[in-house]
Amino acid sequence: MKSQQTIFSGIQPSGDLHIGHYFGAMKNWVALQNQYRSIFCIVDEHAITVPQDPEKLRERTLDIAMWYLAAGIDPKRSIIFVQSHNSDHTELSWILNTITPFGELERMTQFKDKSSKMKKAGIPAGLLNYPTLMAADILLYQTDAVPVGEDQKQHVELARTLARKFNSRFGVTFKEPKELIQKFGSRIMSLQDPTKKMSKSDENKNSYIGLLDAPDDIRGKIKIAVTDSGKEIIFNQEKKPAIANLLTIFSLFSGLQIKDIEKKYKRKGYGEFKKDLGNIAVAHLEPLQQKYRALKKNPEQVKEILREGVKSAKQISSKTLADAKQKIGFL
């Protein structure tokens, strides 16, 4: 039991959650909360780095808290709160911005991806500074490890760099965090383009399986998911990326090893494999959806969990922030 070690992670309320968030984030957190002091945030301040509809943002923020609870995060064991409810995050973020090299932010893959879709004059500075806010999120809680999907690795590395830089300039203030990336399922790919990460902001809804998708939609999306040439169902990321992705999803839902799934479908076609995958996905997501719907009927109970959560979060973060402010020379 690593009772002294802390993990911190979060999800942005910038769209509807999909199975990438479940397998790449929440499902792992549920297991990790038994080993670590666990802090799970709904990072609404990150979400506004791209335009959001205010009413939808509010609704999605509460929805994500409901998904955390439905997935099995236990508020008695883990702290669950909303980022904008704790102003320590933006305050530390400003301080860290003063030691963050502009060039490092410009080199971030996620910034390059998201900004490449915008006109230069329209790129918000917040999109560039997002990793510094994420560093503040992590460093405020003296975090040891950050359980994230593969795409977030670069941002955790920056948090570590900033902690080291601040510590060496002003004296030890922050722990240097590490990313905690599971070997399998840390990068679920789009069902329509296996070279792209499954993403909630993808305009093509057929590219992802939403956690709240109806059974027929889940089956339908898997049925029309792109496949590779040839007929065999084998795991080969380079030659058969689409089938490798579907095999990964099959394995995550069923708990079966890839080699056993390959054996099972040795002389069978893509059609049968996809039909079975659709049914397994529906069977797995239905109980999760039921739990979410039960919570949706009682939003006050969830809001209360968030109110308690931010109190516990603030107890930890306020100490770190006060220390950082004292060290840099604020009166």
Could you list the residues that contact ligand AQP (CB under 6 A)? 11-12, 14-15, 20-21, 24-25, 148-149, 151-152, 186-188, 197-201
Residue 14 or 33: the one with the smaller Cβ distance to ligand AQP is 14
Angle at 307 between CA 303 and CA 309, to 5 degrees: 110
In whole angstroms, what is the distance from residue 198 CA to residue 222 CA?
Answer: 13
Distance of CA 81 to the CA centre of its chain: 15
Angle at 127 between CA 123 and CA 130, to 5 degrees: 165
Which tokens hold the place of 27? Answer: 């499902």
* Positive or negative torsion for Cα 74, 79, 84, 85: positive
Residue from 56, 120, 183, 200 carrying the catalytic annotation: 200
In whole angstroms, what is the distance from residue 216 CA to residue 209 CA?
Answer: 11
Q: Is 205 considered catalytic here? A: no
Q: Which of 200, 192, 201, 256 is nearest to 226 (CA)?
A: 192
Beta-bridge partners for 236: 240
Residue 11 or 73: the one with the smaller Cβ distance to ligand AQP is 11
- 85 neighbors 318 (Cβ within 8 angstroms): no
Q: Is 119 considered catalytic here? A: no
Residue 160 or 265: the one with the smaller Cβ distance to ligand AQP is 160
Which tokens hold the place of 245? Answer: 């992705």
CB of 83 to ligand AQP, least distance (A): 11
CB of 25 to ligand AQP, least distance (A): 4
CB of 137 to ligand AQP, least distance (A): 11
Does an H or E element contain 314, and which? helix 299-328
Q: Is 197 considered catalytic here? A: yes
Q: Strand ranges (DSSP E) for the chain?
A: 6-11, 37-42, 78-82, 145-147, 178-180
CB of 189 to ligand AQP, least distance (A): 7
In whole angstroms, what is the distance from residue 237 CA to residue 150 CA?
Answer: 16
Residue 14 or 173: the one with the smaller Cβ distance to ligand AQP is 14
Q: Which residue is nearest to ligand AQP (CB)?
A: 24
Place of tokens 């027929």: 216
Residue 12 or 317: the one with the smaller Cβ distance to ligand AQP is 12
Residue 149 or 309: the one with the smaller Cβ distance to ligand AQP is 149
Cα within 13 Å of Cα(29), Cβ side: 31
Contacts of 28 (CB under 8 A, 6+ apart): 147, 182
Contacts of 221 (CB under 8 A, 6+ apart): 191, 206, 208, 209, 213
Residue 93 or 173: the one with the smaller Cβ distance to ligand AQP is 93
Residue from 197, 221, 274, 314 carrying the catalytic annotation: 197
The amino acid at 157: E
* Active-site amino acid positions: 114, 197, 200
